[in-house]
Amino acid sequence: MIPTMPLDPVRLRELLAFYADAGVDEALVEEPLNRFAEASAKIPPTPEAAPPVSGTTSSTERAPSAPGGPAPVAARPASIPDEAQAARAREAARQAKTLDELKAILTDFDGCNLKFTAKNLVFADGNPEADLMLVGEAPGRDEDLQGLPFVGRSGQLLDRMLAAIGRDRGSAYITNVIPWRPPGNRDPSPLETEICRPFIERHIELAAPRVLVTLGNPSTKLLLNTQTGIMRLRGTWSVHRTSSGLEIPTMPTLHPAYLLRNPAHKKLAWRDFLAIKMKLASDG
């Protein structure tokens, strides 16, 4: 028999804090669980209840009862948003006439599953009338807790990068493609990104900055409609076109989180921000 060691409460608290910071939000079980099978399971509607609406969490249903015993209750898996939810998002985004209206629409929108696992909507920070707008991918843990984009370690680095060209959050506008934190800081799925696309495109259109900066690979590929990687695109001016025909000069650059992991590449981002400074000065 393997002897068991008593748990040290201090070490146990440190371990739990580590798991929380890493985004762990559920315990492991002994039996392997195929989550793809769960997500794709089709459960026919019962005569007593209408079929669940796509994109919402359905109620529980009764499983067949065992002889002589009570009927167990089995929970249905949450439905996954489909193209209908993306269509809803496009229609909802078109209704927004101001940034405040867009924020209210996002607050009420229930077509993306990320909303139900996030603590807060992370809409934007800074000055919405600024001539410079920066767009990242998705909120992290600190952003989810505070409801503001770029407030963790990568946000602190972004603040220093802005300060290096004479800017701060009072003279820039900052947001993300995805307004809700993905569980455990995982990458947003293509479907989640597609559902959120109309909102960020409308967000940029309403803010109408003179210069747009895409931070990292995901936001660059989405907003410039390209499959070319960030290392090839960064440092080169491109154009983001809105649905109304507005053409905004766009500079793709490296995400601050990437720079924290690869500090040798900060010199590349510095060159990009110098180009951004010169562009804003020349257009002014």
Lowest mean pLDDT of 35-39, 121-125, 164-168, 222-226, name the range. Answer: 35-39
- Higher pLDDT residue, 127 or 66? 127
The three-point CA angle 260-266-268 to 5° equals: 140
Lowest mean pLDDT of 31-40, 42-51, 84-93, name the range. Answer: 42-51
Question: Is 18 part of a structural domain of the chain?
Answer: no
Parent domain of 95: 83-283
DSSP for 21-73, written as a single string: HTT--S---SS---HHHHHH---PPPTTSPPPPTTS----EEPPPPTTSPPPE
Total of domains in the chain = 1
Question: Is 126 part of a structural domain of the chain?
Answer: yes
As a whole number of angstroms, the distance between CA 18 and CA 283 comes to 47
Question: Is 95 part of a structural domain of the chain?
Answer: yes
Question: Is 25 part of a structural domain of the chain?
Answer: no
Secondary structure of residue 150 in the 3-state scheme:
coil
Tell me what the pLDDT averaged over the chain comes to: 83
As a whole number of angstroms, the distance between CA 195 and CA 177 comes to 10
As a whole number of angstroms, the distance between CA 77 and CA 170 comes to 44
Question: Is 12 part of a structural domain of the chain?
Answer: no
Question: Is 277 part of a structural domain of the chain?
Answer: yes
Q: Which of 149, 92, 138 is nearest to 115 (CA)?
A: 138
| HEC profile of 182-205 | CHHHCCCCHHHHHHHHHHHHHHHH
What pLDDT, on the 0 to 100 scale, is given for residue 23? 54
Question: Is 159 part of a structural domain of the chain?
Answer: yes
Question: Which residues touch 167 (CB under 8 Å, ≥6 apart)?
Answer: 132
Number of Cβ within a 10 Å radius of residue 30 = 4
What pLDDT, on the 0 to 100 scale, is given for residue 31? 62
Asked if residue 59 has pLDDT above 90, the reply is no
Question: Is 74 part of a structural domain of the chain?
Answer: no
Residue 181: give its domain's CATH number: 3.40.470.10
Average pLDDT over residues 61-89: 55
**pLDDT over 90, % of the chain:** 69
- Higher pLDDT residue, 15 or 93? 93
